[in-house]
């Protein structure tokens, strides 16, 4: 399977803990995106990388959130001091060339207790 | 007013029916329009991508864009139970990578 992969698929954590998610994009896709989706809502944009450069960030990405893509391949999204409101599905997508169609991974479902 | 409005449904149809799903938008800068299908607890899957007014067909799916009315539609012909999913419209401005999604419409196709 050469699609976008995300790890872990499900994470349960206690309020106040830090969590880190990983995304591996489709091979050779140079653009990578993070979105957050809560129940009954569409995904909301968080941030985007072109290669290793983080080029766009949403106001949703508070100072407790940080994303990296150190070598322009995989990316990590860290949430510090998690809150119950952080419970959501965190989706990663990647794209390359043409119309820059974004292809999504299966998501990481975060539950903060 | 949200930038993208989509009726969340739910929508229930018999197998073989023609399904019409719609979104309206308020931002006239949107230039690219997509439809994604999302099964329960899975990531969205890209179905259709268009950037001009008019129709685009792919198998049983037709995407329609009317930029003058700020209205997009997805038609599904000969609907199947396997089409049961949430359908999300998404759009973006030229020069931005950010996709703006509707809430999604939950569709059930009954055998």
Asked if A43's CB is within 8 angstroms of B88's CB, the reply is yes
**A48, A31 in Cβ contact below 8 A?**
yes
Chain B contact for A25, CB < 8 A? Answer: no
User: What residues in A contact B43, CB-CB < 8 Å?
Assistant: 4, 91, 104-107
Burial bucket for residue B56 (CB in 10 Å: 0-12, 13-18, 19+)? middle
Asked if B45's CB is within 8 angstroms of A104's CB, the reply is yes
- pLDDT for res A60: 83
pLDDT digits (tens, 9 = 90+) for A76-93: 999 999 999 999 999 999
What is the DSSP annotation of B5-61? EE----EEEETT--EEEEEEE--TTEEEEEEEEE-TTS--EEEEEE-SSEEEEETTE
Q: What is the mean pLDDT of residues A99-103?
A: 88
pLDDT (tens, 9 = 90+) of chain B, 111 residues, equals 789 999 888 999 999 999 999 999 999 999 999 999 999 989 999 999 998 889 999 999 999 999 999 999 999 999 999 999 999 999 999 888 899 999 999 999 999
Residue A1 has pLDDT above 60, yes or no: no
Is residue A98 very low, low, confident or very high in pLDDT (cuts 50, 70, 90)? confident
pLDDT digits (tens, 9 = 90+) for A9-23: 999 999 999 999 999
pLDDT digits (tens, 9 = 90+) for A25-84: 999 899 999 999 999 999 999 999 999 999 999 988 889 999 999 988 999 999 999 999
Chain B contact for A36, CB < 8 A? Answer: no
Chain B contact for A42, CB < 8 A? Answer: yes
Give the chain A residue whose CA is nearest to the CA of B9: A40
Residues 6+ apart with CB under 8 A from B101: A42, A43, A44, B4, B36, B88, B89, B90
């Amino acid at each position: 399977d050469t699609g976008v992969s995300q790890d872990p698929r499900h994470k349960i954590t206690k309020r106040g803990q830090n969590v880190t998610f990983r995304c591996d994009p489709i091979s050779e896709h140079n653009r990578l995106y993070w979105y957050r989706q809560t129940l009954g809502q569409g995904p909301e944009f968080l941030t985007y990388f072109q290669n290793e450069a983080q080029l766009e960030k949403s106001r949703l990405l508070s100072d407790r959130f940080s994303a990296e893509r150190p070598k322009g391949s995989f990316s990590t999204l860290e949430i510090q001091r998690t809150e119950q409101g952080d419970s959501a599905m965190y989706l990663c997508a990647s794209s390359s060339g043409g119309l820059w169609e974004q292809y999504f991974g299966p998501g990481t479902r975060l539950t903060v207790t | 007013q949200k930038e993208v409005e989509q009726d969340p449904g739910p929508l229930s149809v018999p197998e073989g029916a023609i399904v019409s799903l719609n979104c309206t938008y308020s931002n006239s800068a949107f230039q690219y329009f997509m439809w994604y299908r999302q099964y329960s607890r899975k990531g969205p899957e890209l179905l259709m991508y268009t950037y001009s007014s008019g129709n685009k067909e792919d198998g049983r799916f037709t995407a329609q864009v009317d930029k003058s009315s700020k209205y997009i539609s997805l038609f599904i012909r000969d609907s199947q139970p396997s089409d049961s999913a949430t359908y999300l419209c998404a759009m973006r401005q030229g020069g931005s990578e950010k996709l703006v999604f509707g809430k999604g419409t939950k569709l059930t196709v009954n055998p």
